[in-house]
Chains A and B, each alone.
Chain A
Amino acid sequence: MKRTYLPIILVSAVLLASCSKYVDTPLPKNELAPEQAFANDKAATAAVTGLYADMNVLNYFYGNIQMNYLTAMQADDLFYFSSFANYDVFRNNTLLPNSQYVESMWRDQYSYIYHTNACIEGLTKSSGVTPAVKDQLMGEAYFMRAFMHFYLVNMYGDVPLITSTNYQENNLKPREKTEVVYAQIISDLKEAKNLMGADYPTGARVRPNKGAATALLARVYLYTKQYALAEQEATAVLDDSHYELLDDLNTVFLANSREALFQLQPVNLGGGRNTWEGFVTVPSTPTSTTLFRLDTTHLIEKFETGDKRLANWTGHMIKNGANHYYPFKYKVRFVAGADVTEYSMVMRLAEQYLIRAEARIQQEKLDLGRQDLDSIRHRAGLDPLPVSLGKPALLLAVEQERKVELFCEWGHRWFDLKRTQRATAVLGAIKGVNWQPDDTLYPIPSEARSRNIYLTQNDGYN
Chain B
Amino acid sequence: MRLTVFLMIVASLKVTAGTYAQSVSLSVKNASLEEVFTEVKKQTGYVFFYEREVLRSTKRVSIQADNLALNAFLSQVFAAQPLDYSIKDKTIFIKRKPLVAEIVQAMQEITGTVRDGDGQALIGVTVKIKGTNTGAVTDAAGRFRINAEQGQVLVVSYIGHETQEVTVSGNDISIVLQPAVSALDETVIIGYGSAIRRTSTGSISTVKSKDIESQPVMDPLAALQGRVPGLVVTTSNGMAGSSFQVRLRGQNSLREEANDPLYVIDGVPFFSEPLNTFTSANGNQSPLASINPSDIERIDILKDADATAIYGSRAANGVVLITTKKGSSGKTKFSFNVNTGGSKVVNMVDMLHTSDYLKMREEALANDDVTPDEDNAPDLVSWDKNAYTDWQKYMIGGTSKLTEARGSVSGGNAQTRFLLSGAFRKETSVMPNEEPFSRGAVHLSADHSSQDGRFNISASVNYSGTKDRSIASDLTSFYNLAPNYPLYDADGAYYWFGNMQNPAAYLLRKSTTRTDNLMANSVIRYTLLPGLNIKTNLGYTNTNMDQVQIYPEATFNPTSNNVGNMSYFGNSKVQSYIVEPQADYQLTLGKGNLQLLAGATWQENQRNINGLTGYGFPSDGLLEDPSAASEVVIRQPAYALYRYTSVFGRATYNWDEKYILNASFRRDGSTRFGPGKRFGNFGAIGAAWVFTNESFLSPSSVLTFGKLRGSYGMTGNDIIGDYAYLESWSSGSYPYDGTIGLSPSRIPNGDYRWEENRKLEFGLELGFLKDRLLFNTNFYRNISGNQLVDFALSPQTGFGSVVANFPAKVLNTGWEFDLTSVNIDKKDFRWSTSFNLSLAKNELKEYPDFENSTYKDTYQVGQSLSIVRGYQFTGIDPETGEATFRDFDGNGTIDEFVDYVTLGETMPAYYGGLQNSLSYKGLTLDFLFQFVKQEGPQLNYGYLSGTYGALANKDLSALDRWQKKGDITHIPKATRLAANANYDLYRLSSGVWGDASFIRLKNISLGYDLSKYTKTWKLSNVRVYASAQNLLTITSYDGFDPETKGLAMPPMKTITAGLQVGF
Determine if A37 and B742 form an interchain contact, defined as CB atoms under 8 angstroms apart.
yes
Is B629 located at the chain interface by the 8 A CB criterion?
Answer: yes
Determine if B731 and A167 form an interchain contact, defined as CB atoms under 8 angstroms apart.
no
- Interface size, chain A (Cβ < 8 Å): 100
How near does chain B come to A325, taking the closest CB pair, in angstroms?
16
Is B374 located at the chain interface by the 8 A CB criterion?
Answer: yes
Determine if A171 and B793 form an interchain contact, defined as CB atoms under 8 angstroms apart.
yes
**Considering the complex, which residues of chain B in the window 914-935 have a beta carbon less than 8 Å from any beta carbon of chain A?**
none
How near does chain A come to B528, taking the closest CB pair, in angstroms?
6
Stretch at the interface among A104-112, A219-227, A237-245, A387-395: A104-112
Question: In the complex, what residue of chain A is closest to B638 when comparing beta carbons?
Answer: A30
Question: In the complex, what residue of chain B is closest to A112 when comparing beta carbons?
Answer: B798
Determine if A204 and B794 form an interchain contact, defined as CB atoms under 8 angstroms apart.
no
Is A26 located at the chain interface by the 8 A CB criterion?
Answer: yes
Scoring A residues 1 to 39 as 1 if CB is less than 8 Å from chain B, else 0, what string do you get?
A: 100100010011001100110111111111111101100
Determine if B630 and A272 form an interchain contact, defined as CB atoms under 8 angstroms apart.
yes
Scoring B residues 183 to 227 as 1 if CB is less than 8 Å from chain A, else 0, what string do you get?
A: 000000000000000000000000000000000000000000000
Determine if B802 and A23 form an interchain contact, defined as CB atoms under 8 angstroms apart.
no
Chain A residues with CB under 8 Å of B745's CB are 31
How near does chain B come to A154, taking the closest CB pair, in angstroms?
17
How near does chain A come to B645, taking the closest CB pair, in angstroms?
4
Scoring A residues 252 to 296 as 1 if CB is less than 8 Å from chain B, else 0, what string do you get?
A: 000000000000010111111100000000001100110100000
Chain A residues with CB under 8 Å of B643's CB are 22-23, 25
Is A420 located at the chain interface by the 8 A CB criterion?
Answer: no
Chain B residues with CB under 8 Å of A49's CB are 736-737, 739, 741
Determine if A8 and B723 form an interchain contact, defined as CB atoms under 8 angstroms apart.
no
| Selected contact of A202 from candidates B615, B728, B738, CB within 8 Å | B738
Alpha-carbon gap, A19 to B728, bound state (A): 25
Alpha-carbon gap, A136 to B432, bound state (A): 59
Stretch at the interface among A50-58, A210-218, A302-310, A374-382: A50-58
Determine if B726 and A27 form an interchain contact, defined as CB atoms under 8 angstroms apart.
yes
How near does chain A come to B557, taking the closest CB pair, in angstroms?
10
Scoring A residues 72 to 94 as 1 if CB is less than 8 Å from chain B, else 0, what string do you get?
A: 00000000011111001100101
Is B386 located at the chain interface by the 8 A CB criterion?
Answer: no
Chain B residues with CB under 8 Å of A20's CB are 669, 678-679
How near does chain A come to B846, taking the closest CB pair, in angstroms?
20
How near does chain A come to B995, taking the closest CB pair, in angstroms?
28
Alpha-carbon gap, A23 to B646, bound state (A): 10
Chain B residues with CB under 8 Å of A270's CB are 563-564, 566, 615-616, 631
Is B671 located at the chain interface by the 8 A CB criterion?
Answer: yes
Alpha-carbon gap, A24 to B532, bound state (A): 34
Alpha-carbon gap, A211 to B723, bound state (A): 41
How near does chain B come to A289, taking the closest CB pair, in angstroms?
5
Chain B residues with CB under 8 Å of A300's CB are none
Assuming A269-B615, A450-B854, is B978 touching A54 (CB within 8 A)? no
Alpha-carbon gap, A353 to B559, bound state (A): 38
Determine if B615 and A452 form an interchain contact, defined as CB atoms under 8 angstroms apart.
no
Is A61 located at the chain interface by the 8 A CB criterion?
Answer: no
Scoring B residues 793 to 815 as 1 if CB is less than 8 Å from chain A, else 0, what string do you get?
A: 11111111010000000000000
Determine if A34 and B728 form an interchain contact, defined as CB atoms under 8 angstroms apart.
yes
Question: In the complex, what residue of chain A is closest to B857 when comparing beta carbons?
Answer: A450
Alpha-carbon gap, A294 to B437, bound state (A): 49
Determine if B647 and A33 form an interchain contact, defined as CB atoms under 8 angstroms apart.
no
Determine if A451 and B736 form an interchain contact, defined as CB atoms under 8 angstroms apart.
no
Chain B residues with CB under 8 Å of A291's CB are 499, 559-560
Chain A residues with CB under 8 Å of B581's CB are 11, 15
| Selected contact of A162 from candidates B528, B637, B798, B898, CB within 8 Å | B798
Determine if A30 and B730 form an interchain contact, defined as CB atoms under 8 angstroms apart.
yes
Is B348 located at the chain interface by the 8 A CB criterion?
Answer: no
Determine if A23 and B678 form an interchain contact, defined as CB atoms under 8 angstroms apart.
yes
Chain A residues with CB under 8 Å of B727's CB are 33-34
Chain B residues with CB under 8 Å of A26's CB are 641
How near does chain B come to A168, taking the closest CB pair, in angstroms?
9
Assuming A31-B723, A51-B743, A285-B558, is B795 touching A451 (CB within 8 A)? yes
Assuming A19-B645, A20-B678, A84-B978, is B600 touching A50 (CB within 8 A)? no
Alpha-carbon gap, A88 to B976, bound state (A): 13
Determine if B559 and A284 form an interchain contact, defined as CB atoms under 8 angstroms apart.
yes
Determine if B563 and A167 form an interchain contact, defined as CB atoms under 8 angstroms apart.
no
How near does chain B come to A298, taking the closest CB pair, in angstroms?
20
| Selected contact of A24 from candidates B640, B675, B795, B799, CB within 8 Å | B675
How near does chain A come to B853, taking the closest CB pair, in angstroms?
9
Stretch at the interface among A113-121, A361-369, A408-416: A113-121
Determine if A110 and B797 form an interchain contact, defined as CB atoms under 8 angstroms apart.
yes
Question: In the complex, what residue of chain A is closest to B730 when comparing beta carbons?
Answer: A31
Determine if B631 and A52 form an interchain contact, defined as CB atoms under 8 angstroms apart.
no
Stretch at the interface among A40-48, A191-199, A344-352, A397-405: A40-48
Alpha-carbon gap, A28 to B607, bound state (A): 10
Is B151 located at the chain interface by the 8 A CB criterion?
Answer: no
Determine if A29 and B639 form an interchain contact, defined as CB atoms under 8 angstroms apart.
yes
Determine if A111 and B799 form an interchain contact, defined as CB atoms under 8 angstroms apart.
yes
Alpha-carbon gap, A45 to B566, bound state (A): 31
Scoring A residues 148 to 170 as 1 if CB is less than 8 Å from chain B, else 0, what string do you get?
A: 00000000000110100101001
**Considering the complex, which residues of chain B in the window 593-652 have a beta carbon less than 8 Å from any beta carbon of chain A?**
598, 600, 602, 614-616, 629-631, 633, 636-641, 643-647
Chain A residues with CB under 8 Å of B640's CB are 28
Determine if B564 and A336 form an interchain contact, defined as CB atoms under 8 angstroms apart.
yes
How near does chain B come to A117, taking the closest CB pair, in angstroms?
8
Determine if B559 and A89 form an interchain contact, defined as CB atoms under 8 angstroms apart.
no
Assuming A22-B602, A81-B375, A170-B797, is B737 touching A265 (CB within 8 A)? yes
Question: In the complex, what residue of chain A is closest to B498 when comparing beta carbons?
Answer: A82
Determine if B741 and A51 form an interchain contact, defined as CB atoms under 8 angstroms apart.
yes
Determine if A334 and B563 form an interchain contact, defined as CB atoms under 8 angstroms apart.
yes
Alpha-carbon gap, A367 to B616, bound state (A): 54
Determine if B741 and A337 form an interchain contact, defined as CB atoms under 8 angstroms apart.
no
Determine if B741 and A46 form an interchain contact, defined as CB atoms under 8 angstroms apart.
yes
How near does chain A come to B987, taking the closest CB pair, in angstroms?
12
Chain B residues with CB under 8 Å of A94's CB are 979
Determine if B600 and A171 form an interchain contact, defined as CB atoms under 8 angstroms apart.
no
Is B27 located at the chain interface by the 8 A CB criterion?
Answer: no
Is A129 located at the chain interface by the 8 A CB criterion?
Answer: no
Is B740 located at the chain interface by the 8 A CB criterion?
Answer: yes
How near does chain B come to A34, taking the closest CB pair, in angstroms?
6
| Selected contact of B616 from candidates A89, A268, A337, A446, CB within 8 Å | A337
Alpha-carbon gap, A103 to B978, bound state (A): 19
Is A315 located at the chain interface by the 8 A CB criterion?
Answer: no
Is B960 located at the chain interface by the 8 A CB criterion?
Answer: no
Chain B residues with CB under 8 Å of A334's CB are 562-564
Alpha-carbon gap, A289 to B602, bound state (A): 62
Chain A residues with CB under 8 Å of B499's CB are 82, 84, 291
Chain B residues with CB under 8 Å of A288's CB are 558-559
| Selected contact of B600 from candidates A12, A92, A118, A170, CB within 8 Å | A12
Q: Would you list the 5 A-B pairs with minimal beta carbon distance, nearest first?
A: A114-B798, A271-B615, A271-B616, A50-B741, A267-B734
Query: What are 20 A-B residue pairs whose CB atoms fall within 8 Å in the complex?
Result: A4-B529, A12-B598, A19-B669, A20-B679, A23-B670, A23-B678, A28-B641, A30-B731, A42-B739, A43-B742, A92-B979, A110-B795, A165-B744, A202-B738, A265-B737, A267-B735, A267-B736, A271-B563, A272-B615, A447-B795
Where the two chains meet, the residues of B that have a C-beta atom closer than 8 Å to any C-beta of A are 374-376, 498-499, 528-529, 532, 558-560, 562-564, 566, 581, 583, 598, 600, 602, 614-616, 629-631, 633, 636-641, 643-647, 669-671, 675, 678-679, 722-723, 726-745, 747, 792-800, 802, 852, 854, 856-857, 893, 895-898, 976-979, 981
Where the two chains meet, the residues of A that have a C-beta atom closer than 8 Å to any C-beta of B are 1, 4, 8, 11-12, 15-16, 19-20, 22-34, 36-37, 42-43, 45-54, 57, 81-85, 88-89, 92, 94, 96-98, 103, 106-107, 110-111, 113-115, 117-118, 159-160, 162, 165, 167, 170-173, 201-202, 204, 206-207, 265, 267-273, 284-285, 288-289, 291, 320, 334, 336-337, 445-448, 450-453, 455, 462
Given A114-B797, A271-B566, 7 other A-B contacts at CB below 8 A? Answer: A15-B647, A50-B743, A53-B736, A83-B979, A165-B747, A271-B616, A450-B856
